Structure formats: structure tokens, C-alpha cells
Amino acid sequence: MKFCSLVPLLRTLGALCIAWSAASCDRQAAAQELTPNVDINQFQNPGDFKPSYDFNAPPEGLFREIETAGGCEEELGYRRAHEYVPVDPRQTFRPETPIVYVVFKTHQHYESFQVFGVCFPEEVHGLDPKTPIAQDVVYMALEDESGYLKIASPPDGWKPGKYKVEIHVGWQVNEISLMGTMRFSVPSPADPLAPASGSIPPS
């Protein structure tokens, strides 16, 4: 008698298990339809991804600020440290400009290194864009958080056109030392928009 009374209960439990299993399969099928196997860049929010580092643009990361200028000067910083600041920042220079300055500030660092500036005639008539025409290097000690590079003009002056200065960090210039690229241009001497000539050495 006791066994017979359990039969309806077992049948009810079995039916519930079958219904739960079917519902679970339906949920899994729906989940597969809602989340197809797509590329991760399409699946996640594109705003979560930062663009890749551009070595053809002004350097970032280590550098807080960097710009080309007609000169630079030294002043006392907020921590009573000596800082170099640009004077007459610009991206256009006269052909007779003797020196183009690249002035920069860095974040705090925990070892010394060197900063190189290698100048190429990017779009200059008659010059090979792969052959450097000027180079400078500055040593950065542990306490240094600013500095400058002096890109001297060729013996016959700057030819009209566009120039780029590759910025390298390390102890030598190679493929993995490149941090970014600065650019400046030299208009024709007859161009009325050309800035005044001359460079201002650090005081």
C-alpha cells in the first residue's frame, strides 16, 4: 500500500525533471543565438580599446611635453630644480635659422638614459629622405626631468621643404629605441608667411 501511494509522486517528480531539462536546453539554445562566435573586437565595446602606439607622431609615455622651438631657456622649477622651457615655439623656420631646438619634459624616472634626435629631410627637393642630415644627443640623469636637443642646419642652410626628427631613447639609435617623431617645415625665402630668422640659445 505504501509503495502504491508513492507512484503518483514519483510520476510528478519525473515530469518536473523532464520539463526542467527541456527548459534548460531552450535557454542554452537561446544563449547561443544571442552570443554568436564573433571576433573579440566586435563582441566588446570598441571604446574599451586604445589605439596602437603611433611612432610617426610626437612621442608620449615618458614625455610629458615636447615641441620644436626657436630657442630655450633655463629656469628654476617648482621643486627648485632647473628646467628647460621652449622660447618661441613653432613648427616653421626660416632657411637661415642656425638651430632648431626640440625642448621636452619627462615624467619622473628611476634610471639614467640618453635622448637622441635624428633629423631627416622628409620632403625636400634634391635630398634623400632616408639619409639623416643632423643629429644630437642629451644625457638625462636621475634628477633631470627636462632637456633639449639642438638640430643644427646644414652648412648651406635649410632647403625649403618638410623635415622630421626621430626621437630615440636609450644608449644607441636602433629600431627598438624609437619613441616618436617631431616635424617642422622650412618655407621658401620669398614666402611672406615665413617667420623671422634666428635661434635663441639657452640662457
22 contacts 16 by C-beta, under 8 angstroms: no
Cell of 3: 509503495
pLDDT score of 1: 46
Q: Which residue has the higher pLDDT, 200 or 134?
A: 134
Q: Are 102 and 164 in the same domain?
A: yes
**Global pTM value:** 0.69
Q: Are 73 and 120 in the same domain?
A: yes
pLDDT score of 160: 95
On whether residue 201 sits in a domain, the answer given is no
On whether residue 88 sits in a domain, the answer given is yes
Mean pLDDT of the 24-46 span? 56
Range of the domain at 166: 63-186
Q: Are 36 and 67 in the same domain?
A: no
User: Quick check: 38 pLDDT over 80?
Assistant: no
Q: Are 73 and 121 in the same domain?
A: yes
User: Quick check: 12 pLDDT over 80?
Assistant: no
Mean pLDDT (the chain) is: 80
On whether residue 197 sits in a domain, the answer given is no
Q: Are 24 and 116 in the same domain?
A: no
Q: Are 129 and 33 in the same domain?
A: no
Long-range contacts of 30-37 (CB under 8 A, 24+ apart): none
Q: What is the pLDDT of residues 140-188, one digit of tens each?
A: 988 888 999 999 999 989 999 999 999 999 999 998 999 999 999 999 8
On whether residue 134 sits in a domain, the answer given is yes
Q: Are 133 and 37 in the same domain?
A: no
Percent of the chain scoring above 70 in pLDDT: 66
Q: Are 174 and 100 in the same domain?
A: yes
Dist. CA 5–CA 164, nearest whole Å: 92
Q: Are 72 and 126 in the same domain?
A: yes
User: Quick check: 91 pLDDT over 80?
Assistant: yes
Confidence of residue 53 (pLDDT cuts 50, 70, 90): confident
- Our count of domains for the chain comes to 2
CATH number at residue 116: 2.60.40.2550
On whether residue 180 sits in a domain, the answer given is yes
On whether residue 151 sits in a domain, the answer given is yes
pLDDT score of 143: 85
DSSP labels, 20-80: HHHHHHHHHHHHHHHS-S--HHHHS-GGGSPPPP-TTS---TTEEEEEEEEEEEEEE-TTS
On whether residue 53 sits in a domain, the answer given is no
Q: Are 36 and 95 in the same domain?
A: no
On whether residue 27 sits in a domain, the answer given is yes
Q: Are 38 and 109 in the same domain?
A: no
Q: Are 131 and 36 in the same domain?
A: no
Mean pLDDT of the 64-76 span? 90
